[in-house]
Amino acid sequence: MIEAIIFDCDGVLVDSEVVGLEDTAAFMRSKGFDWQAADLVRLFTGLRDDVFAARLGEEYGKVLGRPPTEAEAGELFTAMIENRRRNRHMLQAVPGAEGMVQELAALPFKRAVASSTRIQFLHDKLTRFDLWDYFAPHAYSAELVDHGKPAPDIFLYAAEKIAVDPARCVVIEDSANGVKAGIDAGMVVWGFTGGGHCYDGHGDRLLEAGAVEVIDSHLALRARFKGLQRAVTET
């Protein structure tokens, strides 16, 4: 029996993964990477900054033909992030997110957010799009745990905070890294492809990572939650 719904933030509630994506891909090509926007999504979506930086350093080594120095890796990571944040004024909610959460609030499920985003940015994003009050105080950053996604720590932390057995939680995730984290936490994971960064084949990658199904919009998610409520009621 499902008792709680745990959401990722970026790419599920707030359409931040697509912001500056094409510009960043062009920047990375100027540094010798043979990447398109879809490659950035595949490699980095859902990762906490430290995991992101480590993976970027590994990829940079392939371009350089040697491991980058700490300074080289740090400079590239900083430049890449600054390139993305230059476009943050274009940030929007994922279409239908507020209506979905508002409707969910009337259903008998606990709610939480478990995100790789830093605490200050997570609070800002949820507040900016009138989503904070639907989750507060249960909006948690991976800064609070030892290991970021794809490790399960943040999902287990959120489940503990809302006092629900992980096996009774559904996770809504837009990234393969997040799906893996939810699966390893022992939760049911639904993939979500309603964000602007979800290119062709994205849903297939979520299924390959272990999502039990893929939902393509918040309208469809609302219908799915109603079906879940009926199943819980009948049980």
DSSP secondary structure code for residue 60 in this structure: H
Residue 185 sits in a domain whose CATH number is 3.40.50.1000
Residues 79 and 104 in one domain: no
What is the rounded average pLDDT of the residues 124-141? Answer: 96
* Strand 169-173 with 4-7, pairing: parallel
Instruction: In whole angstroms, give the CA distance from residue 177 to residue 148.
Output: 10
Burial of 200 (0-12, 13-18, 19+ CB in 10 A): exposed
Q: Residue 19: which pLDDT band, with cuts at 50, 70 and 90?
A: confident
Structural domain boundaries enclosing 101: 4-16+91-234
Give the pLDDT score at 234. Answer: 66
Residues 136 and 79 in one domain: no
Residues 107 and 156 in one domain: yes
pLDDT digits (tens, 9 = 90+) for 144-192: 999 999 999 999 999 999 999 999 999 999 999 999 999 999 999 999 9
pLDDT digits (tens, 9 = 90+) for 86-110: 877 778 999 999 999 999 999 999 9
Number of structural domains the chain divides into: 2
Residue 62 sits in a domain whose CATH number is 1.10.150
